[in-house]
Every structure is written in structure tokens, then in C-alpha cells.
Structure 1
Amino acid sequence: MLLADLSRSLGLSPGPLGFALFVGALASMLAMALLGWTADLLGRRTFIAASAAVFGGGVAGLALAEGYAMFLAALVVLYAGSGLYDVGINAVAVDLELALRRRLMSLLHAAFSGGGVVGAVSAGVMLSAGTDYRLLYLLTLLPLGAAVAALCLGRLPDPPERRGPEDGGAGRRPLYRNGPLLLVAAVATLGLLSEGEMEHWSGIYLRQTLGFPALLGGSGVAVFYGAMALGRLGGAAFVARYGNRRVLLCAGPLTALGMLLSLAGTWPPLVVGGFLLVGLALSLVVPVAFSLAGELSPGRAGAGISVVTTLGYGGFLVGPVIVGGMAELVGLRLALGAIAASGVAIFFLALLLGRFVKA
């Protein structure tokens, strides 16, 4: 949402913006690959607090960026901190599921989507009221600090096993050669790739390509996040009835259909309605992938989910870069068709998974 204002302020076209997002994505992937294991070494609280501090520094850097070089540096810090923060938070979620023996991932991811709704609507309202986007960036540090404080002061479940860096690396390496698990990781990558593209480019598409005002542009993004939250809140019963793979078989085509509707015209109800369908369809893809990872790595669910998380979040970070490069060549409307293509690919990967998992 705020990225549209920041890129306009710096005079960035999709190409330079896409390159900056690529550099940030690379920084995040390197941070997760090189430092993610320290979540076990340092402990969850210390790891999350440290990564949140880096994350917050990147947010502040965006608020203060006056030129492309500073913008690029801020993105590197922001994405590195964000990637490590995601590793820590998902590790806590896995610990909680294992401790309580309950499927909570979809509910926890619903909270993330709900935060997206609140952020998009709040930003749209405040921008419409004339609030400077730089101040809005700084205001996001308040809920981040409150969430980290609550997490660090609260009681966290103990990980089922603690490993040093050498043992952790040796334990994960064979799973990177597990074919079915890599299929699941590919599904998660496509789902998160689509989420990342929607998060970074949908607001720019609505406000710059279609010329929607700030409030309407923000409401479109909020509808997507709201649909994600609702889909995840009600997802447990849906998955229990139809099974993980059948959910993916439905989610893929619905994602493609919703995105094509959004790109088919400029009528706001059609565009926003398409965003709604995309959000509902994508809402269960990543939680289901995490569940399948645990199913395919019995006794090593945490390690299996770490493989899917690392590869999947690479898609979340690289997706916006792909759209930026394509937008420079063919325009943003056609570039966002990559989300529809991802939906089709999820469908075919779910068909392949039929050889390894139940319905």
C-alpha cells in the first residue's frame, strides 16, 4: 500500500523498483540460509527480538529514504530482518502445534492476514486524510514492538529437540532430497509467490495502473487480506472434510479464475471481487503445505516444515521481483497474470502429490 507512495516520491518505474525488491529478496534468502539455524542456538525469544530489531530498522530506513541508494539499503535491512522474523515466528508455531497436538497453523496465518486488513484499511484512511506516508511507516513500529514484547514476556512452548548448528544442518540436508517434500515445497513457493505479488503490486496496480483513489486502492488490498483471514479461520473444517490434496486441487483453479477476473477490466466491483476470490483460494495453500510437510516427514515435522518454509518464503520474496521485471517489459496488468499461472501450476502439482499422500 505505502510502496506506491514511496516509489512515486522517488520517481521509480517498475524496473528499478523490481530490481530493488530483487536485492532485498536476495538479502532475505541469504539471511535465512545462513542464520536461520540460530533460532535453535539462541532460543526463540532472543532470536525473534533480534530479528525484529533489524526488521524495525529497515522500516525506519524506508521512512527516511531520500534517494535510490538509501532505499536499496533500507530494503536489504528490512528483508533480511523480515525473513529471519518469519523463521522465528513459524518455528514457534510448529513448537506450539507439536506441544498441543492440534492443527493451529491456519488460525495463526489468519492473524497475519487480519493484520494485513487492518494495515491496508488504516493506511488508506490516513493517506486520504493527508497523512504523510513516511509517518505511516514509522507508526508501524508501534504494533511491531508491542507484538515482540508480548511474545518475549509470555510463555513459549519448548522445542521438542534442540540442536547445534552442525547437527541441525546434517538433520535437514537429507530432506532437501526428499522428492514428495520438494513437491510440497513447490506448492508453498507458488502460494507464497502469489501472496507476495499481491502484497507488493496490487496496490500499485489499483492506484497507478487503474487510477483508483487511495481509499479505494487500499480497500482492494484489504479485501484480499480479509478473504485470506476468513478462509484460514474457516479452513480447518474444510480441510478436515475434503482433505489436504483436494483443497489444493480446488485452490489452484480458483486462484487463476479470480486473478483473470481482476485483470479483465477496470470496473471496481469486478476487480475487487477478483481479489476476494484470489484471497479465499490462496488462504489455505500454505497452511496445507505445512501440514503435508509434517505428514511426509513423520517424526521430523519441524525439520520438514523448515525446508518448506525456507523454499516457500523464497517465492514470497522473489515473486514481486518477477512481476517488476515483467511489468517493465509488458506492463503491470499482463505481469500480474503470473498469479493466474501459479494457480494452474498448483493444480498440476496437487495431481502429482496424489501418488504420495491421501486425499
Structure 2
Amino acid sequence: MKSLRLILSNPRYFAPSWVFASINILFGTWAIYIPSVKEKLGIDKADLGIALFFLSLGVFIVFPIAAKIINKLGVGKATWYGIIFSSVAALFPLLAPNYYFLMAGLFLLGAGNGFTDIAMNTLVTEIEKEDRQNFMSASHGFFSLGGVIAGLGSFLIFTINNPALHMLYAVILVLVVNFIFHKNYSHIVAAPVEKEPFSLKLFKPLLVLGIISFVVMGGEGAIVDWSGLFLQEISMAPETLIGTGFLAFSVMMTLGRFLGDSISAAIGPIKIVALGASIAIVGFVFVLSTYTYMAIVGFALIGLGYSVIVPELFRIGGTVKGVDSSQGVSFIAGTGYSGFLIGPVVLGFVAESYSLKYTFIILLACTILVLVATLRLHGKKR
């Protein structure tokens, strides 16, 4: 919890961490009104799926150009501008008068969130290098905390009874706190890096990190989408326990991220990725036992194991020799988001054609590959 105390006691560290929370407050507030938007615009699930594709498209469009913009503006200013853009864009989907405006609004929201995601992770990487402090994992814990804040906001739905007004309140909260604290990071620029000519040797570590990011965030997406269905259909859990798998996963994800920085400082970023993968493997074994309570414990272990991996990948990716921190972070973010968005869809076909249990067997196998790849990466670092 050292990094959490650091964030809460020093505005230099709280300021970028609040950006992490802000992104998920905005996205989470949009997410709770998806059914309302669907009903308001009179669209079916297929139409909604296409609209959500534009959200993903906005994210992917910005990834190739984000690093150049961040380097030109300076990572601190880029983060501040990114959160302003994301806040304004978050209003558009809930104000959309028709389906086409909804697609456009989601595209802008995706672009804003994608850009801010790269900027804020690069910002934390730079502050860590400058101050020799570890707080990347705890910053991702604040991202999870932002989701909790958005979830608690769902209790205001019937009180406010206006989705756009609800989002406006969320935007005001995000912007006011960021305005107060942004001066603590807006001046920061990335340290110059002595670039090396492109070579497979230079790219190989990033490629391995990207594959790990793809697998782990794909696994996160699968837990979000299917943990409840697994407990219902495979474990035959009572209705009151169907949501407990995702709850256990989310709570341990948040807790693990607040604890991760201290462990990383003690054993190193590569070893903690290996440790996280090992814990997640045990979790998948518990889930695949299919016994309800063991499966719930398994989801908790997967959350704990996965919690420390993605923050460490950003930390490692931002410090690869010969590569700008923004480019390294952008690559990790791009592959990770690809996994989060594509993985659950691909595995969904497996679940439909065979069984949901097979999707978790595949996720177990992929997590074992993550452990093997991490151990090989560690061996080459020695």
C-alpha cells in the first residue's frame, strides 16, 4: 500500500492517478445508460453492436498517431488536453438524436479515451523514471476505482432521470478535480531517448510484451463477459451467486493493483508478471473445477493475478532501450485493447460451437504461455 499512500499524500502522484479514475468514471457512466440509449433510439442488438464497433474504431484510429502528438505537445499537456477532449466527447452519445449521431459520438469518445490512455500511462512512466518511485500499478487501481464510482452513480439514475444530465455531473466532477491538479503534471515532457535504427532485436521485446498484453486483456474481457454465464450454465450456481464471480474478480483486481508497486519494487517488473500469471493459472484451475464456490475463489485469484500484469507491461514497455516511452506504451496499449475487444468475440464462437468450459481451457492455456514467455524474457535479461 506504499504507492497508495504516496498518491494520497502527494499531489504530484495523485494528479495523474486521478486521470486514470476519470477515464473510467466517464466510460462507466456511459455504460450504465446503454440500455436507455438502445430504447430511446429504437435500435436492436445488431445495430447497437455496430455502434459499439465505432467506439473501438475510434480507439484503434488514434493509436498509430498518438505517440507523435504526445511527443509534439509534451506528455503532460497531452494528458490534460486528452481528458478535456474525452470529457466533452462523453456527452455526445447520450445527446445523440439519432443512430448516426450515436456512431459519431462513440467514435469521438473512443478516440479521446484511446489517446488519453496512452498519454496517462506515458506520463506515469516518465514520473516514475524521474522520481525513482513506483506507482503505475496503483494508478491502474485508480482506474478500477473510477469504475466503482461510476457504478455507485447508478443509484442516481431514478433521482436524476436524465442520462445526459447525469453524464454532465460526471464530466463536471472529472474536469473540476483535473483542473485543480493538472498543474502538477502539465509541464512534464518525455525524457529524450537515444533512438536506435529499427531491428528485430530491438522490436522483439516489445512484440513479446504485446502478445502478453493481448492475451491478458483478452482474458479480462472474457471474465467481464462470461463469468456470470459460466457460473449459471456450467457451475449451476443459484441466481443470487451469478454476479459474485465478476465481483470477486473486480475487488481482487483493485486490491492487487494497490499492492502491486511495492511487490514490483522488491522483485522487479518481469518477476511480478510471472507471479501474476502463476496466480491466474491456479485461478483458472479452480474455475474449471466447476464447483460454484471454488469457481468464485478462482475468479478472485484470476483478478489478483491479472491485476499486476498490465501495469507492469506499461512500465516495461515505457523503458525499452532505444524506443520512445510514448511509442512503447502505445504499442502495448494497442495490442492490449485488441485482445480486450477481439478476444471475447473469437472465444464466443468457441463457446457457441462447443462449450463455455472450452473457452476457459483456452484462457488457461494462453496464461500458461504468458508464464513461459515471461520466464524466457527474464532469462534473456540476466
Which of structures 1 and 2 has the larger relative contact order (alpha carbons within 8 angstroms, sep 6+)?
A: 1
Q: CA deviation at 1:105?
A: 1.5
For residues 278-357 of structure 1, the aligned pairs below 5 Å read 278-293=302-317, 296-297=320-321, 300=322, 303-304=324-325, 306-324=327-345, 326-327=347-348, 330-331=351-352, 333=356, 337=360, 339-357=363-381
Q: Is the partner of 2:91 in helix, strand or coil?
A: helix
1:144 to 162, 174, 198: 174
Q: CA deviation at 1:324?
A: 3.5
Distance (Å, rounded) in 2 between the aligned partners of 1:226 and 1:88: 26
TM-score by length of 2: 0.71
- Structure 2 unaligned spans of 5+: 1-27
Distance (Å, rounded) in 2 between the aligned partners of 1:68 and 1:276: 38
For residues 1-359 of structure 1, the aligned pairs below 5 Å read 3=31, 6-7=34-35, 9=39, 12-13=44-45, 19-65=50-96, 68-120=99-151, 122-123=152-153, 125-126=155-156, 136-156=166-186, 158-161=188-191, 177-198=202-223, 201=225, 217=243, 221=246, 223-258=248-283, 261=286, 267=292, 272-293=296-317, 296-297=320-321, 300=322, 303-304=324-325, 306-324=327-345, 326-327=347-348, 330-331=351-352, 333=356, 337=360, 339-358=363-382
2:12 alignment partner in structure 1: none
Equivalent residue letter for 1:185: G
Q: CA deviation at 1:162?
A: 5.8
Q: CA distance change for structure 1 residues 202 and 3 in 2, over 3 Å: closer, same or farther?
A: farther
Equivalent residue letter for 1:6: I
TM-score by length of 1: 0.75
Distance (Å, rounded) in 2 between the aligned partners of 1:207 and 1:323: 17
Distance (Å, rounded) in 1 between the aligned partners of 2:203 and 2:357: 35
Equivalent residue letter for 2:376: L
Q: Is the partner of 2:332 in helix, strand or coil?
A: helix
Distance (Å, rounded) in 2 between the aligned partners of 1:160 and 1:75: 30
Q: Is the partner of 1:159 in helix, strand or coil?
A: coil
Q: Percent identity?
A: 19
Instruction: Determine if contact 1:25/1:318 at 8 Å carries over to the other structure.
Output: no
The total of aligned residue pairs comes to 344
Q: CA deviation at 1:81?
A: 0.4
**Root-mean-square deviation (Å):** 4.2
Equivalent residue letter for 2:279: L
Q: CA distance change for structure 1 residues 72 and 275 in 2, over 3 Å: closer, same or farther?
A: farther
Deviations 1:137-193 (A, max 9, x none): 444323321343134333556335469xxxx9x768558952123212322333333
Instruction: Determine if contact 1:25/1:314 at 8 Å carries over to the other structure.
Output: no
